[in-house]
Amino acid sequence: LNTLLKERPVATNAATSGCIVAFGDFLAQASERSRAVHAVEAEADEEMLRRRAARPIASYRSDSYDPRRGLVFASFTVLVTPAWIQIYRIGDRLIGGSRSIPRAIAQGFFTWTVATASNPLFIFYVTAGTGVFVHGLRTWDDVWATYVERMRRNFLTHVGASLGFWGSQWVLLFYYLPPHLRILYASSLQILWNGVVSYIQHRD
């Protein structure tokens, strides 16, 4: 794998990242089902249930694992992997100087800024993909209403959580790890990050 990451970085990173993200969504769905069961057992109050029912898609939970949702997440990862390889390289060039912890933090902040700026695209892709292929939305108005509700409800929380989560990894990513392992490591962290995102999206 190490050799493939060096010799064929785009294909190898895309394949491994897609598989890792799909597995992360499998774990996230398991966590969502567990929380849903506990919510029912706790006899959630009527106001909370009313708020859920009023959402365009009340909640992306189901009673069983749905691989289609994982495929939506994985497909986005595969599509953007070539761009992220270039973004890491651009960051290396823009933030010059010798290898140091301050430089690593600057590189991390650069990539986080790019990721945050592109996050609305990610949310729209996932909302449209899961809405159409998993939840049966058939009109643009339904997809757009769900996207707007997600952005309004979750975006700022998502930004703050991502800064804390990914910021804690900047030194390891950009100081200790060799460049060809960055995307693989970041994709592995997606397993944990998917859990954070799942909690944000399904909190009440």
- pLDDT of res. 24: 85
- pLDDT of res. 154: 87
- pLDDT of res. 55: 54
Q: Which residues of 170-183 are buried (b: 16+ CB within 10 A; e: fewer)?
A: bbebbbebeebbbb
- pLDDT of res. 69: 87
* Amino acid making up residue 109: F
Q: From residue 152, how far is each of 56, 76, 98, 114 by CA, in Å?
A: 13, 22, 41, 20
Helix pair angle (182-202, 9-41), 10° resolution: 20
Cα distance between residue 166 and residue 17, in whole Å: 17
- pLDDT of res. 83: 93
Q: Is the pTM of this model over 0.95?
A: no
Task: Judge whether 115 and 186 are in contact, CB under 8 Å.
Answer: no
Looking up tokens 């694992």 gives 65
The one-digit pLDDT tens for each residue of the chain (204 residues) are 788 888 888 899 899 999 998 888 888 888 777 766 555 555 555 555 556 555 554 444 455 778 888 899 899 999 999 999 999 999 999 998 888 999 999 999 999 999 999 999 999 999 899 888 888 877 889 889 989 998 998 899 999 999 999 999 999 999 999 999 999 999 899 888 887 887 777 665
Residue 135 backbone dihedrals phi, psi, to 5 degrees = -105, 0
